[in-house]
Chain A
Amino acid sequence: MSPFPAKRRKLDRSATSLDDSETEQRSTSNASREDVVPPKPTNTTRLLEADDAALYVGGLYKSSLFKLQVDELLREVVPNYEKRFGGLTTALHKLKGLIEGIEERGALSVADATKWLHKSHRIAVPYPDPKPDKNAAYKLSYAKPSHINVIGSYTLRTMVKSDSTLSVDLLVVMPAAIFQEKDYLNYRYFYKRAYYLACIAAGLQQAAQEDFIVAFEYLHGNDLHPILVLKPRSDESKPVPSYAINVIPAAPPMLFAETKLRPTKNNVCGKDGVEGESTILLPTPFYNASLRSDCNFEAYLKLLHSVTKASDGFKDACMLGRVWLRQRGFASRLSDGGFGHFEWAALTALLLKFGGPNGHSILSPGYSSYQMFKAVLKFLSSNDLVAHPVVYGPVDFVASTSSSPVLYDGQRGQNLLYKMSPWSYNLLREEARASLSMLNDGTFDQFEATFIIRTSQPLQRWDCIFQVSLPSHDLESTSCDHRSSMAEFGFRIAEILAEGLTDRVKLFDIKIPSTSSWSTKAAGPTNEPSSLTVSVAFDPATIDRLVDHGPPAEEKKKAAKFQKFWGEKAELRRFKDGSILESLVWSPGSTYAIFENIITYLLKRHFGTVVASSLRFTGEGFEKLLPGSGPSTKSFEILKQSFSALEKQVRDLEGLPLQLRHLSPVSPQLRYSSIEQPLFSSGQPLRNPADLSIQFEGSGRWPDDVVAIQRTKIAFLLKVGSLLEEVDESIASRVGLENEDKPLQNCAFLDVIYGSGAVFRLRIHNDREQTLLERQIKEKSSDHRAREDAVLALSVYKRLFLQLPLHTQSIATHCTRFPLLSPTIRLVKMWFDRHMLAGHVREEVIELLVVRTFLQPYPWRSPSSTMTGFLRTLLFISRWDWRAEPLIVDFTGTMTSKEVDSINTRLEAWRKIDPTMNRTVLFAASNHDTSGTAFTDNGPSRLVATRMTALARSACKLVKEKEMDLDPRSLFATSTADYDFVIHLSPQFTGDHRRKEASKPKYKNLEVQSEASMEKVGSQPVLSYIEELNKLYTNTIVLFYSEIPGSVIAGLWNPQAVATRSFKVNLMYPTRPANGEGEDTEDVELDKSAILAEMARLGGDMISEIVVHR
């Protein structure tokens, strides 16, 4: 059978299914059956896949590309069960036998039982706090478990490769006989469970000594749930298997009535009866749920098993969820948010039965894994389970609202989210929302953002991170529920942050460090944490607000509460609109200063000076690195105002031969993105003139020749200059010449110098140039050289007069839209500059890279601090595979996937034409420039681009390793050891010296002598020197230079030029005979020493030393 008819049939089906829901259902199930890809596909499945492939393009997946990538991901993350769990089955069988062989032990009092275990086996029973009463009436006993079973993701085969050891859960169900009816009260069940576990530990200790290391651990960090962890011992003969076996004691399913353990019930405080009588007993949801979860292990195993059978996509959806959660730092552990893959799987399973309108379910078993994954995200993001708790299943129970989320599985009587704190739930929802919006992005492929990028790295995720140590005195508990003192502290801080910071922050997270496992002989975990970490994401619009408005004075109750919360900081103020409000006034300063101020005050007020003084903040270091007055954009604004004034003056000029059409800024100083702020005053004009492009209305009187146009511009500029001088006396103007050896390019500019110190440089844009140059390029009669010149001139023309005005406008607009864009661009530029790449990578490319971080911020939201913006940009650079991927910036958010595709195709075409990347290396496209090469035409070379990636990689690695201990300056330190030679500049010519000079205080009466400083505007001897060197030795050396410290120029020899070659007349570099002097030879080699001597002569007094490495 030829493959063609089959293909057509299937295509037709998918086409018709669009309007026929029944067929769609059928084709859906067909497709999803296909998509369950076995870990190692055989040839036949591969074929099938290809044949049915076109189906995936339909609604089942985001796109076929996405689907294929998901398949690859699933294939990649599945561990090799046989290899990783070699010998596990025998080990489990052996363990089962051992546990069943432990002898039974009759009822003993708490004290006796503890003593006995300690004496005979030296085992400390891991009782939870509070420790059991020695004189308690109930007795502890051990009996043979009712059964033993393997549960968890190992049995479901939904494990995912990871760095940590994979663990297999061995469930030991305790016999009902050892419990009493009322054991659910006051920790009695948990004491008995702990004793039972200790007995198993005692039994295994001897028997399993040779094979395993036995230790206690809290299951998911919940100290009500101690378990035994058995790690296989290393053996001489075989490598250590990287798995661990968790022995988990569990209660029989029907031990306690479900109704007694609902989240609204209290089961703890009745103990003493002293305080308890008068007060209403507060519910103890966490305690109850912890108990219920012990009864439910097997019930959930059953549920998940049956769902796996019923729905094909389920297993893969669980694995996708697992990867997604892990990349966001979520896990079942209390310290990791309390939402892990088990919760994900159980939630998905529940949603397959419940959740939809009219008793229907949200998910259908026919969904593909991706659909299921996305629907779960949608469920998480769109339902607020704190405000509206949800109960599924056949129970008549209405959950009341509390601060924690509730998703009650009625059938099994379990709040699935009981381990989640309010803040971790908020975080999960935010992550789900962000992921959902990126999955809905039809234009760009978001696969990497969804599953590959680790989003939970603190410095890239959060704007400010601080550590607080636990106060030494006990906090009085606010609830009866079971909570460690650390958790209690965390909850208190969360409340205070929520009330104190209000809308200043978008999100915060509190990390309570988890305990590790401990030896069976120790009394408890050895590393009791003493401090917790709070991470905050700012709201850039409100974070630096100086005055907080509280409730009005008339509302007595609210005002009193406000005063109680804020203490002496709260003051009554009358505002302009006549209202009298309780308010707070913070002293002005940087964003971080204000924030730290508030936090320190709050913690001091609520926990005392000791806690407040223990605070350690991370985050501001990056902003502080910026030169000048930090992240403020004030000086940019001032220059912008001067520009507006100039624009008005030019517009109002009378006597111009042609009408003005546009006066557009093209300088980074006019788009908030120059590393150094544009500072100027009447005595000190702006050092680097701000470039402008000026365009007049079209006229037929321009000459029809490029060179002549350039010359005519001079006359125009002279006219504009003299007219401006007439209009405004404070203006001085002068016409300067440039591009002396490139007749096709712009040859003159006009400097307009205001008395205020603002300096602008105008170049005339004439659109006729483009046509003329294009004609010149097409003309076949002209020689190769002339055409090259025209091509170069055209690309310069396009960049300067077409792209730059648009680019400048877009960047400036977005800098006002995102207040943090400007400092981030400047910081990233500084990074490039410090690593001496600034001369190679154009500023505009760097700006595009940073804007991308803000406009396509996935998997995060737009950065709300310089630190996150900077580090995320570095992360992007480190991951950017510029060989195969273009950089695409969608300024307006209106790009279609078609446009993106065409940009991709263009890149592929470039790579086909020029596979060695001699011409275009980086490909940076935007709405304005779909060609992608406007700013990357002449640089960076592949060498520089590779270095850029390498530098970014090592920076990201450092960030990951150091985390909070990172010194931001270390990312900006560069070494010159890799270069072949280094030219050290004389101190008075370095950038640093120049800056010092500029900041020197001047006497007022000396300001009059501004003529001299006017002269110097735009004079940059070192840059001119480098420019000349580059021109002289284009193919011989590559120079690296950084402008900000500006004290060295480093260089590399071009390996092609270094090679010995036969003599010819027109070599582009100085040579010497290859085999020394005195003999006849045919070959010559690069005369490095002669070049260095030439450079030294040319540099003259500007150079202090040339150091040669190679």
Chain B
Amino acid sequence: MPKIGEYAILPISIPLTPAYPKTTTHTLYLRPHAPKIPTANDERSLFVVNVPIDSTVAHLRAVFATLVGAGRVEDVTFEHERKTMVPSREVVTVGKASKKRKRGSKGGEDNGGAELPQIWDRELRRSGSTAVVVLVDAKSVELALKAVRKLHKSSKKEKEKDRSWPVWGEGLEGKKPKLGSARYLAHHKLRYPDETVLKMNVDAFMTEFNRKEEERTKKERTKKEKRMRNMPDEDGFVTVTRGGRTGPARSEEAEQKKKEMDEKERKKREELQSAGFYRFQVREQRKAEQGELVKKFEEDRKRVGAMKEKRGRFRPER
């Protein structure tokens, strides 16, 4: 069986479309799932690389159905959803206008309703992205990989017959939200959610936000007080605040602060002096200006030199 690294190669044959009537296969790369941080489902999961952009759970289900028979796939998680692994297989209804949608979309009711309403009827996958397919048991994983191996053998025999590869989207016609103009029309409708839904959504978000904010400010206040206890101010004093029991400030810190202050003072004095109070200062200023002119001239000369390198800059057009 052809392999690439540890991945098995599974070409999927793509049905012809009137716009692109060319036999095409899309290559999937499979391997048993082995994430860095192991989870319970790892040994019955397959890691799939390079899923098509229009993949849905149903699409992958169909693919594995042809490999190991129907009903072996328990769950599919796509790359960018992995963070929110909420196994809710129920159909979620959002708003009045929106259609039924499978899980995988960030539903309106998730996260206490703080997520904005979905404005696409079907999500697209990032190009060349990955997915994790959880099968019913570890045996199914092996079976699936074996089926792929077998397919490669049989396709070698039959040569021309690409029919043997799983077909993308077979049996799903009409079951998924349509792509093409219908998708964009639906998007145009979905992006104007109902007013009440929006209002509720904002309210939910704000309550959630305020709660978090409060927690954060509390934390921050204690942090700030802690810092004030530890840091001497510019005169080397340490403010006494509630709650702390750490020792007094260290002398290095106080010295550093002093240095900073000295520096500030020095800068101030310099600024005052450079204002041009004495005659020698005026003279020096003028000299600096002249130096500036010479510098500018040199710069200009460099620029002209650079222009000269480009042919024809100084040739009058004809």
Contact = CB atoms under 8 A, between A and B. Distances in A.
B2 A1099 contact: no
Contacts of A1100: 178-183
Contacts of B124: 1028, 1032, 1098
Contacts of A1084: 4
Contacts of B18: 1104
B116 A452 contact: no
A1032 B192 contact: no
Given A72-B304, A740-B119, A1063-B5, A718 B199 contact: yes
Given A1021-B185, A1101-B181, A57 B192 contact: no
A1018 B124 CA distance: 22
Contact of A452 (B24, B156, B192, B316): B316
A1065 B49 contact: yes
B178 to A, nearest CB: 7
A589 to B, nearest CB: 36
A27 interface: no
Interface string B175-214: 0001111111101110111010011011001100100010
Interface string A802-844: 0000000000000000000000000000000000000000000
Contacts of B313: 72, 452
A161 B120 CA distance: 66
Interface in B114-143: 116-120, 124, 126-128, 130
A924 B7 CA distance: 49
Contact of A64 (B24, B119, B202, B300): B300
A54 B293 contact: yes
Contacts of B37: none
A1071 B213 CA distance: 45
Task: Report the contact-size class of chain B (Cβ under 8 Å from the partner).
Answer: 35 or more
A737 B314 contact: no
B26 A1092 contact: no
A380 to B, nearest CB: 20
A673 to B, nearest CB: 26
B277 interface: no
A1098 B178 CA distance: 9
Interface stretch (B50-58, B231-239, B263-271): B50-58
Interface stretch (B9-17, B61-69, B240-248): B9-17
Nearest to A1072: B27
B98 interface: no
A502 B50 CA distance: 73
A75 B306 CA distance: 16
Interface string A904-943: 0000000000000000000000000000000000000000
B47 to A, nearest CB: 8
A77 interface: yes
A111 interface: no
Given A711-B202, A1089-B24, A1082 B293 contact: no
Residue picked from B54, B116, B118, B178, most chain A C-beta under 10 Å: B116
Contacts of A705: 209, 213
B185 to A, nearest CB: 7
A318 interface: no
A69 B127 contact: no
B317 interface: yes
B118 to A, nearest CB: 8
A926 to B, nearest CB: 22
Interface in A877-925: 881, 884
Interface string B26-65: 1101000000000000000000011011100000000000
B168 to A, nearest CB: 9
A535 to B, nearest CB: 19
A326 B296 CA distance: 32
A53 B178 contact: no
A1079 interface: yes
Contacts of A1103: 19, 180
Contact of B19 (A53, A1066, A1106): A1106
A685 to B, nearest CB: 14
A1087 B191 CA distance: 33
B25 interface: yes
Interface string B252-296: 000000000000000000000000000000000010001001101
Nearest to A1020: B184
B5 A1082 contact: yes
A274 B205 CA distance: 107
B54 to A, nearest CB: 6
B105 to A, nearest CB: 11
Given A734-B192, A1036-B127, A1090-B26, A72 B314 contact: yes
Contacts of B187: 1024
Given A1089-B24, A1098-B124, A323 B5 contact: no
A1068 interface: yes
Nearest to A326: B316
A1073 B315 contact: no
B4 A715 contact: no
The 9 closest A-B pairs by CB, nearest first: A1100-B180, A1021-B184, A1096-B20, A65-B300, A1103-B19, A454-B317, A1019-B188, A68-B304, A76-B314
29 contacts: A15-B286, A56-B297, A57-B293, A57-B296, A68-B304, A711-B116, A711-B201, A737-B119, A737-B193, A884-B307, A1019-B188, A1020-B184, A1024-B187, A1028-B124, A1033-B127, A1063-B7, A1066-B130, A1067-B50, A1067-B128, A1070-B52, A1071-B50, A1077-B11, A1078-B156, A1081-B4, A1096-B20, A1097-B14, A1097-B54, A1098-B124, A1102-B181
Given A162-B318, A737-B192, 11 more contacts: A54-B293, A711-B201, A735-B195, A1019-B185, A1068-B126, A1070-B127, A1070-B128, A1084-B4, A1090-B52, A1100-B178, A1101-B181
Interface of B: 2-5, 7, 9, 11, 14, 17-20, 22, 24-27, 29, 49-50, 52-54, 116-120, 124, 126-128, 130, 152, 156, 178-185, 187-189, 191-193, 195, 198-199, 201-202, 205-206, 209, 213, 286, 290, 293-294, 296-298, 300-301, 303-304, 306-308, 310, 313-318
